[in-house]
Structure formats: C-alpha cells, structure tokens
Amino acid sequence: MAYKLLEGIRVLDLTMVYAGPMGARMFADLGAEVIKIESPTRPDMFTRANVYPDNQPTETAWNCGGYFHTINAGKRGISLDLGTDKGKEIFKKLVKISDIVMENFSPRVMDKLGLGYDVLKEINPKIIMASMSGLGHYGPLRDFYMYMTGMEGMSGMTAISGHPDQPPLLSNFAYGDWMLGVTGTMAVMTALYNRNKTGKGQYIDISGREAISTHIGDVIMDSTLNGREQERCGNDDPYMAPHQCYQCKDEDTWVTVAVENDEQFTALCDVMGQQNLKDDSRFADKTSRLQNKSELDQIIEDWTKTKNNHEVMELLQKAGVPAGAVLSMKELHLDSHLAERGFFDIIDHGPEGGKRPIVKQMPAKLSGVDSFVPKRAPRFAEDNEYVFCELLGMSKDELNALEEEKVAGTTPRFPPGRPARLDLIEKQVGKGAGHIDPNYLDELRKIYGEDIGKK
Amino acid sequence: MSEQALSGIKVIDLAEGISGSYCAKLMADFGADVIKVEAPNNNDGLRKVGPFKDDDPSAEKSGTFFYLNTNKKSVTIDLTSNKGQDIFKKLVKDTDVVIESFEPGKMADMGLSYNTLQEINPNLVMTSITWFGQNGPYRDFKATNFTAFGLAGAMYMMRQTRWPDTRPTILGGKQAEYTAGLIGYIVTMAAVISPVKGTWIDLSVMEALASTLTGVSADYSYIGLSRRTLPWAIHGFPTQENYPCKDGFVNLTPGLGGTKVIADLIEKPEERENPLLVKAGARVKAPEKFEELVLPWLKEHKKWEITEKAQKLKLAFAPILSPKELLDDPQLKAREFFVKTEHPEMGEVTYPGAPAKLSETPWKAGRAPLMGEHTEEILTDIGYTKSDLTALADEGII
C-alpha cells in the first residue's frame, strides 16, 4: 500500500531552473498536487534544453530535457502567460483554490505583475506564499543579479571549500540552488502546520545565501565566539588524521578514509599489513598523526593504489574503519546499496525518453508502506484541460480561445534542440570535464531492467 | 510568550550527531517544545566538538553544541538502563515526535523499537536519521560527513574546471549532515501534518546528500556522462570561475547584461566586439585568452568595488566572502541575520539566525541548555517526586 502524506494540498509552482523547482518537487514527492505554471513565451528553458535522452532531441525538444524530467517529476504542468490580463485573472482563480504559491523571480516581479502577496491574500487569506531569491526581498542588495554561484560565494561556504593551493571551490552540482529551494519547502511546511492550526496563511521571504550560511553555522561560530577567520583546507580535518581522499587502482577512482581514534588507526595498519606503523613514533597518537599527516597519506595511498575503491572500502569497513568509495555518477546509479533501498524511481517518459532511473527528491522511507513512484514530469501545457476545465470549470471552447489568444498556448517559444557537445566535454582543458560511458544503457539495464531507455 | 508556528508540538531529541540535532533545532526555533535527552556523565556528543568559546573545551562552551541545540531543554537519562528506559517511555506517552540517530538496531536493543513505542503512543512520529538507513548492504558501515560526501556522488565532481584531474574534495562544513537534518525536518513535519498517524521515518545521510544532485544525476542516465567538474559545453564559460582580485576572490557569472559589457567593466571599451566577449563558443574554446583579457583588471580592484560596478552593468558577479566577513555584510545587517542571546557560561553569543523570514510566525532566537538543566522540571512534570529524583541521580540514571 502506498500513501501520500500531503494528499489534498495544492501547490502553484511558478519557479524555474533548479532552485524553486527542486523545492516544489519535494511537495510532489510527499503527495501534494503541484501545478507547474510556465509562460509559452518564457518556458523553463535551461532544464528543458539540456541533456536530451541519448543525446537525441526530438521535434518536440522542449519535452525531452533530462534535467527537466528529473527536477519536475510528479508535477502537473500548465501554460499561462502572467503578463496578460486574462492570465492574471486565471492565476487569481487558481490562488483561490490552492494552498501554496512558490516563486523564484527576481524581487519586484510579482508586485509588478500585480500578483504580490498583498493581492493574493485578499483573494485567499489562507494562502502561503514563498518568495525564493538570491539575497532576499528586502535590504540594500536585494536587486543584485544573482545565480547559484553568487549565493554560494556570498554565503561563507565557498571560502572554506577547496584545496588551499587552488581558488575557492563552488559546488559543481548546484548545491546552493537545492539549499534555496528546499529551505523554501521547509519554511512552507512550517507555515502549513500553522495554517492548519490557525486558519491563517502568511508570506515567506527566503534568501538563498542566508539559507546556505545556516548550514555552516558551527563554522561561523569560531568567528563570532573567537573572532577567528576560517580558511579552506581541502580534505584536512582539525581532529582526524589520516583523513583524506586517496587514489585507487583504476583511472580516476578514489576512496575516502577518516580515522577517528587510535583503535581505528590500529585496525587500518592491520588491514594494510603494516603492523610496524603502530609502533612508529611519528604516528603514535592523534597529535603526532596530525603533525605527520603528509607522510602517512603517502603510505596509505601507496596501498590504496593497488586496489579498487570498493575493495578498500569493504576491507576497512570490516575492520571498523570509516571509509567510502568516492562514487562517480555512474557508480551512484549502479550502487548496490541504493538499488536495494530503491533510491532511484523508474519513471517512464514515453516517446520522450523511455524509462529512466530518476533520483528521489524526498529520499526518506516511511514504515509499513511503499513510497509511491511519482508520475513523469509533465509535457508542456499537458494539464491545461485538467486545470482550466476540471478545476476552474471552463468549457472546452473557452480553453481553445485561451490557446488561440496565446494566454495558454500549447507550444512554447523554443529553439531547435541541440545535442550536448560531448566532444568538447571530453576535451575541456585537455583533460576532460568528465567521463563518457557509451554503454550506460546496458549498465543501467543490468540493475533496473531490460526496458530502460526503450521508447 | 507569543504563539509560534510549531507551538504545542512536543519533540524528544535523542540525536548525538549534527543531522538529528539540526532537525530538532529547527523545530525548537519555530516553537516546538523540544527535550534533548543526553547521557549522564557522558558528553561524547557535540559538547566535545569545537569551536569553543575562548578555546576552552568545556562541555558548556562548545559553539557547535550551542548552534545545534538552541531553544531546547536538556534532560539527562541513561537509556541503556532499565530505569532510564522506563522514564523515556513515560515521556514518549505524551510526545508527538521522537528524533534519533543511533546506529540501526540500537533502539531495538534498548527495548525502544518503534513498534514498542507505538504501543505506548499510537500516533507517534519517529524519525531515524542514520548514515545509510535501516537496511541495505551499507547499513552497518561506519561513516563521517567526509566519507558520506564521497559515497553520495557529490565529491567526485568537486574539482576545479581548470584542474579536473586533481584530488576530489568536499564542500566546507558538514553539508551531508545538515542536509539530512533539513530533509528530516520537512518529512517529519509532513508526517505530523498528515491525517495518517503513526509513522516511522527512515532517512539516510548518504541518500539525503545524493538527493541534492537531482538535476545532475540525469547526466549519466541520459547521456552517459559522469562529470568530475563543471562541463562548459553545458553550462557555458565562465560560470563557476572564482578569480583572484586585489583583496580576495570574485565569482564571474555573466547575467542579464551578457558578456559584452565586461569590456566596460574592465575599462577597455575597444574590446566590446571581441569574439571572446561576444561569442560563448569562443570562450569555451579558449578560456585562457578570456582570462588574459580580464584578469589584469580584476587584480587591481577590490571584490566589493568589482561587484558593485559589475552589478550596475547587470553582470551577476559576486564577492567570495569568508564566514567572518559575513558579520560586516550590509545586506545581512539590514536583514538582522545574526542574532544575539545570553548564555550563563558563554556570555553573549552571536550566531546565524533564521533560515527563512516568516511574516506571521517568525523564527525565534534562544540559547542552548546546560547539560541536564531541565531534568528536574521535566521529570517532576511526569510525576517523579524529589526523593525519586535523588535516588535516580544516586544510581547514575539521571
């Protein structure tokens, strides 16, 4: 049996790209009805236009984007041009029958459209509205142009990320965007509980940069308590040595080891077959190991280089030492632990991608029930009829008129789909920005079934 | 005290690590009554983790413990003893949520499995946050934030675009653990809100961090790519580049202004039609030439100066700020991001405040409890007498 924790809750999702859409998708994963609203003239371009299935966009490229499929799974999708009077009027009708509005336009856009919280709360006093932006909706810098890069950079996290001999390092996986969107989800969930209790909605202002800063709170405390500056220190830990990411046998494969105490260090020496290290004065206790960590790292890496990453992890885990293979995106998809726990849902995108493993946005498992598999991401304007006719009571003729007037057009303004330039990715700075596995479908089929990727 | 969003929700926090403590902290800061249960005579948890006020490693001076336990009450109970378990069961009778982060199976070993607790309280929501979850081949593996970061698939791509074959690293701080705490809060609240009652939630730190990779995960299942850094052919160049300037680093991500106006920024209007500024493809093919053009000017200017000038040109450039620099940030000041509270041992403590601004039911500042500060108050409430408490303390149970 599967149940949906938030069944009956309706979310209007005006968000685009990564941050807001991930936050709104979490509601879909929890069983709420999330309606993604896109303008036909300004669709969710970046995620729709990137990573086409098997690098082959179809005629309707806008429905093929892998990023879009992933970040918008489980949602319904409609088109609506909020720049038109009719579009605004319809949006207001939707607000009346909804619980939550999530938006991540630049500050001022919603007010300019005449759809600010002051207007929406008159229509529905119970509505919860969340505005997600880079630096927040008030303050002297609120109108800064911000992407995830600026949010991370100004949060304090980037300055303490990366190797000391290289520039500060941003997340290469849009972590800051996730933080903004999911902090939005957190705040809305808080407001939702309050609304159920009091019948009152409210407005929420989320700054992505502040959201990220709250996740380095313990680090910031050294500055507030002791006035100390923090610097990036790569893989070093102030309390642990050895504590490093070590190279393994196969090309570009790695394993982490983090030794927390003497007992684990002894176990590590035994596993490596180097009992002599236990009596080596350079590594006698935590303090000396921290002092001589470079020498120790060299000894350990000489050993890890003879093994593969999973082998090192298994050997050390058996001896009670924290160690982990550093999984590439390929290895993550093929990981036996995640497969057994059902971390990836198999979602069928029909002719626009076939079945693909899609990451859960809400990875928690609930006791006694199966979590449900979200519906695939909506095709552009796919749910216009459901939303306009079924929910708002319009006739088919009225719906057709909306389409003709381009208030709710069914074809977005979209350039022809272009495959990703795999050649450039493989040649980036001469070394390659990543590894391309031509047999990825076969690999995925071994774990997730023969029909993966078949349309 | 004014009514907050979660006023009336009762939570017991058994977590010793960051993820569960952070999850329960968010609940406390939004108004829930949170009781932190700590082991008596054993401050193995976050109380031993720095930074410490004045570098004094006392159990009451840990900044990490303070930040992750604001607005909670502390009760000391030895859960490994039968009497301690009885006290805990009495507390569970009248609570809504239990948050725990023991290794899988430990709650059951102590006779406190979810099934046992649900018999006492049928509506109980229990959230178990562990490194790898309650089942699966890695269930009993040991981990730290660092090793979990690697297993979640995030570390592999933590490499500079310029040096994609260098040693992978992590994001600063304890992102895997905080991430699990944040997700834990959301799913716990969803279970509290839901009409379906009595839920045991199994959340894994590895999966929590892996779920932040949502979009990027399609790289592999759609085109077979495992990125080890940011592919410019997908995201453009520059997008993630942090370049040195006179007093630190700035991030260069062109915004609505496009790249043409970079010529105005660097005071070389004659370069406005340079293909390196006008054509995205030209930059991807020769990033070093773009850098030769731009970097000399950056090195002569300060990060805020560059940012302010760039922003006027609609370029989304931003300064890279250290944690300490946040304290002087004009935007954070205007938004009162940092808050202050008094702590009996630490004095006045300044720390990062609300993760989001709620108009009607704001987040609230507060301090962390002293160890066992509320033991007497809480246990008296559930019917223990003064002499009971003295006897329990003598036995080392509380």
Regarding whether A137 and A283 lie in a shared domain, the answer is no
Residue whose tokens read 């002293």: B370
Residues paired with residue A102 on neighbouring β-strands, in sequence order: A13, A130
Report CB contact under 8 Å: A218, B67: yes
* CA closest to A181 among chain B residues: B212
Q: What is the pLDDT along chain A (455 residues), one digit of tens a residue?
A: 467 899 999 999 999 999 999 999 999 999 999 999 999 999 999 999 999 999 999 999 999 999 999 999 999 999 999 999 999 999 999 999 999 999 999 999 999 999 999 999 999 999 999 999 999 999 999 999 999 999 999 999 999 999 999 999 999 999 999 999 999 999 999 999 999 999 999 999 999 999 999 999 999 999 999 999 999 999 999 999 999 999 999 999 999 999 999 999 999 999 999 999 999 999 999 999 999 999 999 999 999 999 999 999 999 999 999 999 999 999 999 999 999 999 999 999 999 999 999 999 999 999 866 778 999 999 999 999 999 999 999 999 999 999 999 999 999 999 999 999 999 999 999 999 999 999 999 999 999 999 999 87
How far is residue B377's CA from residue B360's CA, in Å, rounded to a whole number?
A: 31
Regarding whether A162 and A66 lie in a shared domain, the answer is yes
- CA distances in angstroms from A304 to A135, A235, A291, A307, listed in the order given: 44, 17, 22, 5
CA-based nearest residue to B130, from A363, A402, A163: A363
A272 to chain B, minimum CA–CA distance in Å? 18
Each residue's pLDDT tens digit, B176-230: 999 999 999 999 999 999 988 899 999 999 999 999 998 899 999 999 999 999 9
Q: What angle do CA A401, A403, A408 make, to 5 degrees?
A: 125
Domain CATH number, residue A318? 3.30.1540.10
In the prediction, which pLDDT does A367 show?
A: 87
| Chain A contact for B322 (CB, 8 A cutoff) | yes
Establish if A438 belongs to a structural domain.
Answer: no
Q: Using CB atoms within 10 A of its CB, is residue B63 exposed (0-12), middle (13-18) or buried (19+)?
A: buried
- Residues across chain A: 455
| Chain A contact for B324 (CB, 8 A cutoff) | yes
| Chain A contact for B2 (CB, 8 A cutoff) | no
Establish if A199 belongs to a structural domain.
Answer: yes
Q: In B, which residues are within 8 Å of A168 by CB distance? A: 242, 249, 320
Question: Collapsing DSSP states into helix, strand and coil, what is residue A21?
Answer: helix
Establish if A200 belongs to a structural domain.
Answer: yes
* CA closest to A359 among chain B residues: B214
| Chain B contact for A149 (CB, 8 A cutoff) | yes
In the prediction, which pLDDT does B44 show?
A: 65
* CA closest to B286 among chain A residues: A429
CA-based nearest residue to B251, from A152, A69, A455, A285: A152
| Chain B contact for A356 (CB, 8 A cutoff) | yes
Establish if A98 belongs to a structural domain.
Answer: yes
Report CB contact under 8 Å: B172, A66: no
Report CB contact under 8 Å: A435, B228: yes
Report CB contact under 8 Å: B146, A331: no
User: Which of A13, A29, A44, A177 is an active site residue?
Assistant: A177
How far is residue A302's CA from residue A289's CA, in Å, rounded to a whole number?
A: 17
Mutation choice for B interface testing from A147, A170, A197, A330 by most B CBs within 10 A: A170
How far is residue B378's CA from residue A104's CA, in Å, rounded to a whole number?
A: 43
Establish if A270 belongs to a structural domain.
Answer: yes
In the prediction, which pLDDT does A437 show?
A: 98
How far is residue A386's CA from residue A408's CA, in Å, rounded to a whole number?
A: 13
Q: Which of A330, A354, A384 is the last residue of a domain?
A: A330
Q: In B, which residues are within 8 Å of A187 by CB distance? A: 355-356, 358
Question: Collapsing DSSP states into helix, strand and coil, what is residue A155?
Answer: coil
Q: What is the pTM (predicted TM-score) of this model?
A: 0.98
Regarding whether A313 and A275 lie in a shared domain, the answer is yes
B155 to chain A, minimum CA–CA distance in Å? 7
Q: Using CB atoms within 10 A of its CB, is residue B341 exposed (0-12), middle (13-18) or buried (19+)?
A: middle
Q: In A, which residues are within 8 Å of B352 by CB distance? A: 210, 213-214, 217, 220
Report CB contact under 8 Å: B221, A444: yes
| Chain A contact for B304 (CB, 8 A cutoff) | no
A293-304 and A262-272 helices, crossing angle to 10°: 40
Average pLDDT, chain B: 95
Reply yes or no on whether A177 is catalytic: yes
Regarding whether A372 and A346 lie in a shared domain, the answer is yes
**One-letter amino acid for residue B257 of the chain:** G
* CA closest to B359 among chain A residues: A203
B230 to chain A, minimum CA–CA distance in Å? 6
| Chain A contact for B239 (CB, 8 A cutoff) | yes
Q: What angle do CA A402, A403, A406 make, to 5 degrees?
A: 90
SS3 of B58-125: the string is CCCCEHHHHHHCCCCEEEECCCCCHHHHHHHHHHHHCCCEEEECCCCCHHHHCCCCHHHHHHHCCCCE
Q: Which of A330, A354, A370 is the last residue of a domain?
A: A330
Helix (H) / strand (E) containing A348: strand A344-348
B270 to chain A, minimum CA–CA distance in Å? 25
* CA closest to A171 among chain B residues: B158
**One-letter amino acid for residue A389 of the chain:** C
Residue whose tokens read 């479908």: A441
- What residues in chain B have per-residue pLDDT under 50? 1
Residues paired with residue B157 on neighbouring β-strands, in sequence order: none
How far is residue A115's CA from residue A130's CA, in Å, rounded to a whole number?
A: 13
Domain count, chain A: 2
Q: In B, which residues are within 8 Å of A160 by CB distance? A: 172-173, 322-323
Regarding whether A351 and A313 lie in a shared domain, the answer is no
The answer to whether A315 and A325 have CB atoms below 8 angstroms apart is no
In the prediction, which pLDDT does B45 show?
A: 87
Report CB contact under 8 Å: B171, A211: no
Mutation choice for A interface testing from B222, B245, B308 by most A CBs within 10 A: B222
Regarding whether A76 and A117 lie in a shared domain, the answer is yes
Regarding whether A305 and A200 lie in a shared domain, the answer is no
| Chain A contact for B192 (CB, 8 A cutoff) | yes
| Chain B contact for A131 (CB, 8 A cutoff) | no
Report CB contact under 8 Å: A433, B230: yes
How far is residue A63's CA from residue A121's CA, in Å, rounded to a whole number?
A: 34
Instruction: Point out the residue among A160, A330, A434 whose CB comes nearest to the CB of B323.
Output: A160
Instruction: Point out the residue among A26, A213, A365 whose CB comes nearest to the CB of B202.
Output: A365
Report CB contact under 8 Å: A160, B189: no
Instruction: Point out the residue among A158, A170, A424 whose CB comes nearest to the CB of B233.
Output: A424
Q: A207: domain range?
A: 10-215+342-420
| Residue numbers of B between 328 and 357 with CB closer than 8 Å to A | 329-332, 334-335, 337-338, 346, 349-352, 354-357
Regarding whether A117 and A189 lie in a shared domain, the answer is yes
Regarding whether A271 and A356 lie in a shared domain, the answer is no
Q: What is the DSSP secondary-structure string of A375-397?
A: PPPPPTTTTHIIIIIIIT---HH
Regarding whether A250 and A181 lie in a shared domain, the answer is no
The answer to whether A75 and A36 have CB atoms below 8 angstroms apart is yes
| Residue numbers of A between 265 and 304 with CB closer than 8 Å to B | none
| Residue numbers of B between 259 and 278 with CB closer than 8 Å to A | none
How far is residue A366's CA from residue B110's CA, in Å, rounded to a whole number?
A: 22
| Chain B contact for A325 (CB, 8 A cutoff) | yes
| Chain A contact for B170 (CB, 8 A cutoff) | yes
Establish if A60 belongs to a structural domain.
Answer: yes
Q: In A, which residues are within 8 Å of B160 by CB distance? A: 162, 166-167, 169
| CB-CB neighbours of A282 under 10 Å | 12
* CA closest to B217 among chain A residues: A329
CA-based nearest residue to B133, from A32, A390, A343, A98: A343
Domain CATH number, residue A102? 3.40.50.10540
Regarding whether A22 and A86 lie in a shared domain, the answer is yes
In the prediction, which pLDDT does B196 show?
A: 86
Architecture of domain B232-320: 2-Layer Sandwich (3.30)
What superfamily does domain B10-213+334-394 belong to in CATH? Crotonobetainyl-coa:carnitine coa-transferase; domain 1 (3.40.50.10540)
Mutation choice for A interface testing from B4, B156, B332 by most A CBs within 10 A: B156
Report CB contact under 8 Å: A329, B351: no
Report CB contact under 8 Å: B223, A338: no
Bridge-based pairing of strands A355-359 and B225-227 is: unpaired
Regarding whether A42 and A137 lie in a shared domain, the answer is yes
Q: Map out the domains of chain B as residue ranges.
A: 10-213+334-394, 232-320
In the prediction, which pLDDT does A2 show?
A: 61
Report CB contact under 8 Å: B175, A30: no
CA-based nearest residue to B316, from A163, A12, A144, A443: A144
